[in-house]
Amino acid sequence: MSNEAAEILALRRDQESAKGDSGDLLDGLLSRSVSTFLIKGVPGAGKSTLALELLRRLGGGTYVSTRVSRESLSSQNPQVTLVALRGMAEEMTVGEVPLDARDFRLAGAKEIVGLVFDKVNVDPGSLIVLDSWDSIAKELDPVERLRAEKTIVTVVQAHESKLAFISEEPERTTTDYLVDAIIELSSEVSYGSIMRRMEVKKLRGMPIRTPTLQYTLTGGRFRILEPPKILLPGQYAPKRYTPIVSASDRYSSGIPDLDRLLGGGLYRGLTVALEFKRDFPAYMHSPFVQVNAANLMTNGSGYVFLPSVGVSGRVFLDSLGTYLPKELLDSKLRVGSYRHSETASVFNLTASEVEATFEEVWKAMEELDKSGPLPSTIHIGVDKLEAIHGPAKLQRHISKTISKVKRSNGTATFVVRENTANKDSIVGMCDSHHILDLKDRAIIVQSVKPFNGASNIEYDYSSGWPQVRMIPIE
């Protein structure tokens, strides 16, 4: 078994043991063991969006705003709408779920406590959201605040209801000690993109196996970013691959989300510097490369592949072989290997001279170009070439490779690591630069040159091959 296959199997075991830690965490906040919880975070972190998502999951509830009017709540949150009823009445919904939204901007603690009493008696078991509690609590002295919070928590628990406090207070307060769960939301800017993190600081009745998770607010919805699902041949039911047809002036990547991001697909002569952060497991990118290669080859392009460190050429070939015919692989795929092989789609390399390696790469590329009908694509793991040949002569050969790709109207991807010696020069030579990272077990790709923001990468095998989804992080 290759190292890549072993790592994928280990990943699957970890995913099974951690099943329910991410997406089901929101359901955990709505479980019987949690009656009150606190959502903390700076302005704009998504606290209200998370609260609305929980109301949506529970099928409705009461949203009490001490900050904005009902109309502002609707305009600021895409998932909330005001629906005009007969006469002057209006109904508010979150998605398709009715929402009782109350404007308590001029209210005090007494009115808030009174509302909680009324709601738990009229609608026991429902969820009440106080957004935001700190705007009321700051008007109280410490003793009055503690008394009001104890009253609210006791009443909610006695009626088996649920209540969410929303707060922008960064310090620990009495609310932290009284509630059953604490979720803190934060964000940071990375390469020009906003990255969002959710930290579970307290969760009664449930183990916290994954204390931090990435999330996005795309489309006004709160969505936790899941770990990737990566499967080996034999772990899913393969079907014959169905290609996405390329446009006349572009090559489809086989990934609809990526094609949209690139304005219709890979343009002719495109060169890409793909950077892995220092601890990013290279095999997590393999399904992405597989479906890209599959689509290019079925559209008529050749594909030359030199694996990165941590990626097995044999696993790559075997994976493609589960949903592509052998005849296509033999005629359109060339995998470079430093281990001798007689397989038709493998070309053998020597570890003695970097010149000899690139001569074989160029030879494979030219042979595929001659077979037509479209120019070939090359994918080169520069990190592996540096490990085998050293960094000294690579820049000159990569520059020559880029020139060949430009003349042929093909495309090329050069994989570098954060610590690859030639990284900066390769990034400078390439048309685009993308960074892959693993943040809280989720795959994040950041498009740095040209800037296109950040996305989360997910894989789905239900069609019989790895389909790639890129979810914008907003």
What CATH number does the domain containing 63 carry? 3.40.50.300
Residue 316: count other Cβ atoms within 10 Å of its Cβ: 22
Using CA atoms, how far apart are residues 58 and 53, in angstroms rounded to an integer?
Answer: 9
The mean pLDDT value of the chain amounts to: 89
Q: How high is the pLDDT of residue 210?
A: 87
Asked whether residue 228 is assigned to any structural domain, the reply reads no
| Model confidence at 1: pLDDT above 70 | no
370 in a structural domain: yes
**Predicted local distance difference test score (pLDDT) of residue 64:** 85
Backbone dihedral angles phi then psi of residue 467, each to the nearest 5 degrees? -90, 140
From 162, 179, 196, give the residue that closes a domain.
179
* 20 strand-pairing partners: none
59-68, 71-80, 197-206, 307-316: which has the minimum mean pLDDT? 71-80
Domains of the chain: total = 2
How confident is the model over 111-169, as pLDDT tens digits?
888 989 998 998 888 899 998 888 888 889 999 999 999 999 999 999 999 999 999 98
Cis before 373? omega within 30: yes
CB-based burial label for 340 (10 Å; 0-12, 13-18, 19+): exposed
| 17: its two tokens | 């043991």
Q: C-alpha dihedral over 323, 349, 385, 352, to 10 degrees?
A: 170
Whether 258 and 110 share a structural domain:
no
pLDDT class of 88 with cuts at 50, 70, 90: very low
Mean pLDDT on 307-318: 93
Alpha-carbon torsion angle 186, 187, 188, 190, nearest 10: 140
Range among 202-206, 261-265, 301-305 rated most confident: 301-305
* 164 and 298, same domain (yes or no): no
In a domain, 393, yes or no: yes
pLDDT band at 87 (very low <50, low <70, confident <90, very high): very low
59 — pLDDT class (breaks 50, 70, 90): confident
Task: For residues 276 and 173, state if they share a domain.
Answer: no
Percent of the chain with pLDDT over 90: 67
Same domain? For 175 and 289 the reply is: no
In the chain, the N- to C-terminal Cα span, in Å, equals 40
How far apart, in whole angstroms, are the C-alpha atoms of residue 152 and residue 174? 13
Instruction: For 334-377, write each residue's pLDDT tens digit.
Output: 999 999 889 999 999 988 889 999 999 999 999 999 988 999 99
Of 92, 41, 105, nearest in space to 62 by CA? 92
* pLDDT (mean) for 41-63: 90
Q: Is residue 138 a part of any domain in this protein?
A: yes
- The predicted pLDDT at position 191 comes to 93
Per-residue pLDDT at 66: 80
d(CA 427, CA 322): 34
- HSE on the CB side for 38, CA within 13 Å? 25
Q: Rounded CA gap, 153 and 467, in Å?
A: 46
pLDDT of residue 178: 96
Q: Decide the pairing of beta strands 181-190 and 193-203.
A: antiparallel
Which residues are CB-contacts of 20 (< 8 A; sequence separation ≥ 6)? 28
The residue out of 126, 152, 179 marking a domain boundary is 179
Query: Per the omega criterion (within 30 degrees of 0), is the bond before 211 cis?
Result: no
> What pLDDT digit, counting tens, does each position of 9-36 carry?
555 555 554 444 555 788 888 888 899 9
CB 433 within 8 A of CB 424: no
Is 27 within the bounds of a domain?
no
Same domain, 260 and 172: no
Q: What predicted TM-score, i.e. pTM, was given to this entire model?
A: 0.88
Give residue-wise pLDDT tens across range 217-227.
998 899 999 99
Rounded CA separation 385/395 (Å): 11
Instruction: Give the C-alpha separation, 157 to 286, whole Å.
Output: 49
pLDDT at 112: 87
Q: Does residue 323 share a domain with residue 463?
A: yes
92, pLDDT greater than 80: no
Q: Does residue 199 sit within a domain?
A: no
Same domain, 421 and 296: yes
pLDDT tens digits, 262-298: 989 999 999 999 999 988 999 999 999 999 999 999 9
Q: Are 55 and 26 in contact (CB under 8 A)?
A: no
Regarding whether 254 and 175 lie in a shared domain, the answer is no
Q: For 299-317, what is the mean pLDDT?
A: 94
Of 441, 458, 103, which is closest to residue 287 (Cα–Cα)?
Answer: 458
pLDDT score at 13:
54
Within 10 A of 386 (CB to CB), how many other CB atoms are there? Answer: 21
Final residue of a structural domain among 179, 212, 238: 179
CA distance 472 to 474: 6
Give dist(CA 161, CA 3) in Å, integer.
Answer: 50
Domain extent at residue 44: 35-179
Instruction: Please give, one letter per residue, the 3-state secondary structure of the chain.
Output: CCHHHHHHHHHHHHHHHCCCCCHHHHHHHCCCCCCEEEEEECCCCCHHHHHHHHHHHHCCEEEEECCCCHHHHHHHCCCEEEEECCCCCEEEEECCEEEEEEECCCCCHHHHHHHHHHHHHHCCCCEEEEECCHHHHCCCCHHHHHHHHHHHHHHHHHCCCEEEEEECCCCCCHHHHHCCEEEEEEEEEECCEEEEEEEEEEECCCCCCCCEEEEECHHHCCEECCCCCCCCCCCCCCCCCCCCCCCCCEECCCCHHHHHHCCCCEECCCEEEEEECCCCCHHHHHHHHHHHHHHHHHCCCCEEEECCCCCCHHHHHHHHHCCCCHHHHHHHEEEEECCCCCCCCEEECCCCCHHHHHHHHHHHHHHHHHHCCCCCEEEEEHHHHHHHHCCCCHHHHHHHHHHHHHHHCCEEEEEEECCCCCHHHHHHHCCEEEEEEEECCEEEEEEEECCCEEEEEEEECCCCCCEEEEEECC
Among residues 238, 12, 50, the alpha carbon closest in space to that of 132 is found at 50
Shared domain for 319 and 415, answered yes or no, is yes
